C-alpha cells in the first residue's frame, strides 16, 4: 500500500522531472532563437555616432536588416539610387552595363562644397602625374581620392553587403569627424564590381536558406551549382582583367580609374571558411620589382589602422602571408604601378548565411561587419595619411619621368601581319591612358619590318612610363619562385605580336586620339576567285559568315600563287563561278569583309599556277560550316569553358551549344561536327558516352581537347598523347623540414607563364601562324 509520504514524493519527483524537461526545452528553444537572431544596425555601426534620421537605413528600403539575407544586385542598385536622391553628399552615375545588361554604378561621395567644384578638383588631382607641373601643387589643401570597390567575385558577398552600410554611414553620419573626412576626401564608391555574379550567387543562397539556418557545409546553400557566382556572365575571373580590360565591367573601372587616378584603392574579397581576415601587405618577397619600396611602406602603415579597428571588435586577422603583390592585373596590385596604393582584404567566407568552421560557426553578419570596419579604417587611414599619399603620388610620377629620361629604351614598336590583333593591343593600352602613336613610316629593326599601317609606337617619355615598362617587361629571375597565380604577362607575347625596343623616339609619328580598327583592302581586279590569308584575328568570323550564306570556301593544304604573291597553307579560296550566288552579291560580301574584319581580299584572274598548285587541285579542301558544342558543367573548368564561349560568341560571332556533361551521355551528336572539351575532369562521361564519342570521331567529327581533357582522351582510348613525366634520373630530393612542405609543393608550380616553342608550321593545327 502506497503511503501518503510516498505518494507526495512521487508527485514531487514527477513535477521536478517535468519542470526540468520543460526548462530544458525552453532553454533549447532560446538557444535556437539566439542562434537565428539577426543583429540590428547597432551591431555594425561605430558607437557614439549620431545619424541623420532623414536618411533611410538599408532595412527601411530593402525590408530586411543587412546580413539577414544576401542583397541581390537589383536591391543594391535600388538602395544606391535612393541614397543619391536624398543625400547632397552623393552623386551617382552609371558607368556602363554588364553582359547581362545590369547597370555598373559609381557613387562619388564627398562634401556638398566639393561636389560644386568636383571637376576642378579632379583636374588638379591629375596634375600630380605631370612631372613638369606637379611641384606647384599645394598638397596641404588638396583632398585625397579613395576608390572603394566590392565583391569582384560575385560569391564573395560580404563586401557588397558591407557596402550598403558604408553608403548609409557616409550619407547619414553626423559630427566633426565625418565632416572632416568628406571635406578632405573624394570617395569613389563602386558598390558591385561584378553585378552578374552577385545576382547569381544571391539568388542561389537566398532560395536555399532555411528558417532554421543550416551551418552544415554539406547543405545545398553552401554548394553552388556550376559555374557558381564567382565569375561574370562569360565565366571570366574579373580580378585578372584589370590590366587587359576585355570585359565591360573592367573597361568601366579602367575608365574611372584613369579619369581620377586615386591615391588608394581597396578591393574587398573572401577566402576559405576556416581562415580569418587578411589585409595587405602581402608576402614581402613577392612584390613586383617595379613597385617602389615606398608603396609597401605606406601599405604597411595603413595596415596599422586595419589592425586597430579589428582589435577593437576582437576579430582575428593576418597579414604578409599567402597573398602577393606581383601581377598588375589584379585589383589590389593594379594601382601599385600607377602611383596609388592598392589594398586587398580577404574575409573568411560563410558562403551563405552561416557555416561551420574551425573557428566556430561563421555567420554572414560577422563577415559583413569585418568588411565594414575595414572600409572605415581605410577611409580613416586615407584621410589621416592624406598629405603623405598625395606627396607619394607626385614623387612616383616625378621619379618615373626621371627614369624615363635615363632609360636607353625610348619607345617600343609593336605590329603584326594581323591588323586586328595589333589594334586590340593598342586599344588595351589606350584604355589605360597610355599614349600610342602611329609610326612615321615602315620601320625595319633587327631584321623585323613593321608596316606603318598595322604598327604602333609607344613612347617611354609619358606619364604611364612605369605601366608601359610593365607591359613589355620580361622577368626571368625572381627573388621568390612562388606566386599566387600569374607570373608573366609580357603583353606583346600574350597577343602574339612582333615587338622591338627603339633607342630613339624618332619613329613615333602623331599621337592617336581616335583609335579605330584598321580596314582591309580589295587587291587585284580578277574575276576568277577570291583569296583570304589565314593570319587575321577575325578570319574565322569572316569565313563563318560566308559559310552561313551558303558560299563554298576551300582551304589550301599546299602553297599557291596569284595576284603577284605567294599564299601559304591555310589560305582560303572562294571560286566565283562555283557558287549559288551571283558574282555581284559575292563581291559585296567580300568588300564587307575588308571593312568589318580588317582583312585584305585578293581577286585572282586565273586558277593556273606553275610554281605551286593550281586552284582546281585536290590540295584544296572544302570547308563545312561548323556546328559546335562545348562540354560544360560537371568537372569542367568554368574559366576555360568561358574563354572558348566568349571567343566564339563575342569575338567570332559563331553560334555554339553549351552542352552539360550530364546531357552528353544521353544525347545524339549527329547534329554537331565539332566538339570542344575544355580543361577539366570528365569522369562523369559514361562508358556508353565514350563509345558514342569514338563512333562520332570515326564518322568525321572534329574533337578538340584542352589540358587535362587530353589525359581523359588517352585513358578513354580516343587518342594517345605522351605526357611529360617527372625526370626519374634526377638526384633524390634532400630531406626538408615539415614546415617547408607547403612552399616546396607550391614552388613546383609555374602559374601564368609564357613559353617559347618550335612548331611545325605546315601542320594544319598551325595554319595561320607565322
Q: List the end-to-end C-alpha distance of the chain, in Å, as a whole number.
A: 109
Contacts of residue 235, defined as CB under 8 A and 6 or more positions apart, other chains included, come to 227, 638, 639, 641, 642, 645
The low-confidence residues of the chain, meaning pLDDT below 70, are 1-37, 475-489, 726-733, 736, 738-754
Q: Which of 313, 337, 319 is nearest to 327 (CA)?
A: 337
501: which strand partners?
412
Domains in the chain: ranges and CATH? 47-208+217-400 (3.40.630.10), 522-622 (3.30.70), 626-724 (3.40.50.880)
Position 762 scores a pLDDT of 87
pLDDT of residue 344: 98
**pLDDT for position 728:** 61
146-202: pLDDT as tens digits:
999 999 999 999 999 999 999 999 999 999 999 999 999 999 999 999 999 999 999
pLDDT given at position 278: 98
Q: What's the confidence (pLDDT) of residue 548?
A: 97
Residues 6+ apart with CB under 8 A from 212: 32, 36
d(CA 189, CA 166): 9
What's the pTM? 0.91
Cell representation of residue 657: 551549344
Instruction: For residue 500, count CB atoms less than 10 angstroms from its CB and return exposed for 0-12, middle for 13-18, buried for 19 or more.
Output: buried
HSE-CB for 648 with a 13 A CA cutoff? 19
Residue 694 phi, psi (nearest 5) = -60, -50
Cell of 696: 562520332
CA of 51: how far to CAs of 41, 160, 365, in Å? 12, 21, 21
Closest CA to 620 of 576, 581, 572: 572
Is residue 672 within 8 A of residue 657, CB to CB? The reply is yes
Residue 15 confidence (pLDDT):
43
Instruction: Give dist(CA 303, CA 653) in Å, integer.
Output: 47
pLDDT for res 11: 44
Amino acid at each position: 500500500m502506497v503511503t501518503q509520504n510516498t505518494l507526495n514524493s512521487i508527485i514531487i519527483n514527477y513535477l521536478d522531472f517535468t519542470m526540468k524537461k520543460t526548462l530544458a526545452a525552453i532553454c533549447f528553444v532560446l538557444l535556437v532563437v539566439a542562434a537565428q537572431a539577426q543583429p540590428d544596425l547597432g551591431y555594425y555601426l561605430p558607437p557614439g555616432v549620431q545619424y541623420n534620421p532623414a536618411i533611410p537605413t538599408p532595412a527601411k528600403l530593402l525590408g530586411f536588416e543587412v546580413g539577414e539575407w544576401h542583397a541581390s544586385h537589383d536591391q543594391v542598385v535600388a538602395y544606391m539610387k535612393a541614397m543619391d536622391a536624398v543625400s547632397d553628399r552623393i552623386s551617382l552615375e552609371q558607368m556602363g552595363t554588364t553582359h547581362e545588361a545590369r547597370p555598373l554604378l559609381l557613387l562619388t561621395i564627398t562634401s556638398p562644397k566639393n561636389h560644386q567644384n568636383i571637376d576642378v578638383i579632379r583636374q588638379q588631382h591629375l596634375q600630380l602625374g605631370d612631372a613638369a607641373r606637379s611641384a606647384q601643387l599645394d598638397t596641404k589643401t588638396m583632398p585625397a581620392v579613395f576608390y572603394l570597390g566590392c565583391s569582384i567575385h560575385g560569391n564573395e558577398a560580404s563586401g557588397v553587403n558591407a557596402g550598403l552600410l558604408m553608403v548609409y554611414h557616409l550619407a547619414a553620419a553626423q559630427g566633426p569627424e565625418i565632416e572632416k573626412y568628406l571635406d578632405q576626401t573624394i570617395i569613389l564608391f563602386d558598390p558591385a564590381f561584378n553585378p552578374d555574379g552577385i545576382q547569381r550567387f544571391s539568388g542561389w543562397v537566398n532560395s536555399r536558406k532555411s528558417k532554421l539556418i543550416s551551418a552544415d557545409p554539406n547543405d545545398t546553400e553552401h554548394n553552388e551549382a556550376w559555374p557558381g557566382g564567382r565569375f561574370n556572365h562569360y565565366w571570366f575571373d574579373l580580378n585578372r582583367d584589370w590590366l587587359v580590360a576585355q570585359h565591360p565591367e573592367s573597361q568601366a573601372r579602367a575608365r574611372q580609374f584613369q579619369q581620377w587616378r586615386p591615391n588608394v584603392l581597396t578591393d574587398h574579397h573572401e577566402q576559405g571558411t576556416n581562415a580569418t581576415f587578411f589585409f595587405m601587405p602581402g608576402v614581402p618577397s613577392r612584390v613586383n620589382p617595379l613597385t617602389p619600396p615606398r608603396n609597401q611602406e605606406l601599405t604597411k602603415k595603413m595596415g596599422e589602422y586595419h589592425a586597430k579597428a579589428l582589435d577593437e571588435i576582437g576579430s582575428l586577422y593576418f597579414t604578409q602571408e599567402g597573398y602577393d603583390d606581383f601581377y598588375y592585373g589584379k585589383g589590389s596590385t593594379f594601382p601599385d604601378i600607377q602611383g596609388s596604393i592598392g589594398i586587398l582584404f580577404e574575409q573568411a567566407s560563410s558562403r551563405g548565411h552561416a557555416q561551420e568552421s574551425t573557428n566556430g560557426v561563421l555567420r554572414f553578419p560577422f563577415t559583413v561587419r569585418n568588411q565594414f570596419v575595414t572600409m572605415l579604417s581605410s577611409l580613416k587611414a586615407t584621410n589621416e595619411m592624406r598629405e603623405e599619399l598625395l606627396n607619394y603620388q607626385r614623387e612616383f610620377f616625378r621619379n618615373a619621368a626621371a627614369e624615363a629620361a635615363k632609360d636607353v629604351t625610348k619607345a617600343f614598336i609593336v605590329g603584326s601581319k594581323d591588323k586586328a590583333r595589333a589594334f586590340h593591343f593598342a586599344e588595351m593600352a589606350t584604355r589605360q591612358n597610355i599614349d600610342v602613336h602611329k609610326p612615321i613610316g615602315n620601320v625595319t629593326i633587327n631584321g623585323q619590318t613593321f608596316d606603318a599601317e598595322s604598327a604602333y609606337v609607344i613612347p617611354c617619355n609619358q606619364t604611364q612610363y612605369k605601366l608601359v615598362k610593365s607591359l613589355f617587361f620580361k622577368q626571368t629571375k625572381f627573388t621568390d619562385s612562388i606566386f599566387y597565380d600569374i607570373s608573366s604577362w609580357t603583353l606583346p607575347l600574350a597577343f602574339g605580336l612582333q615587338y622591338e625596343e627603339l633607342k630613339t623616339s624618332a619613329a613615333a609619328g602623331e599621337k592617336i586620339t581616335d583609335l579605330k580598327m584598321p580596314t582591309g583592302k580589295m587587291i587585284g581586279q580578277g574575276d576568277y576567285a577570291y583569296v583570304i590569308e589565314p593570319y587575321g584575328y577575325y578570319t574565322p568570323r569572316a569565313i563563318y559568315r560566308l559559310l552561313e550564306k551558303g558560299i563554298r570556301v576551300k582551304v589550301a593544304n599546299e602553297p599557291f600563287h596569284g595576284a603577284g604573291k605567294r599564299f601559304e597553307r591555310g589560305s582560303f579560296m572562294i571560286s566565283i563561278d562555283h557558287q549559288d550566288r551571283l558574282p555581284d552579291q559575292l563581291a559585296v560580301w567580300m568588300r564587307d569583309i575588308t571593312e568589318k574584319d580588317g582583312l585584305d581580299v585578293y581577286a585572282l584572274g586565273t586558277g593556273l599556277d606553275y610554281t605551286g598548285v593550281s586552284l582546281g587541285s585536290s590540295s584544296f579542301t572544302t570547308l563545312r560550316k561548323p556546328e559546335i558544342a562545348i562540354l560544360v558543367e560537371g568537372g569542367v573548368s568554368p574559366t576555360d569553358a568561358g574563354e572558348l564561349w566568349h571567343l566564339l560568341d563575342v569575338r567570332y560571332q559563331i553560334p555554339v551549344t553549351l552542352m552539360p556533361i550530364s546531357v552528353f551521355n544521353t544525347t545524339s551528336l549527329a547534329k554537331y561536327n565539332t566538339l570542344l572539351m575544355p580543361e577539366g575532369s570528365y569522369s562523369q562521361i559514361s562508358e556508353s558516352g565514350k563509345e558514342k564519342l569514338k563512333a562520332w570521331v570515326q564518322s568525321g567529327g572534329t574533337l578538340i581537347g584542352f589540358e587535362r581533357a587530353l589525359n581523359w582522351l588517352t585513358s578513354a582510348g580516343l587518342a594517345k598523347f605522351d605526357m611529360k613525366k617527372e625526370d626519374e634520373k634526377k638526384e633524390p630530393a634532400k630531406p626538408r623540414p615539415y614546415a617547408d612542405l607547403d612552399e616546396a609543393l607550391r614552388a613546383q608550380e609555374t602559374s601564368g607563364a609564357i613559353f617559347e616553342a618550335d612548331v611545325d608550321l605546315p601542320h594544319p593545327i598551325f595554319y595561320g601562324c607565322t
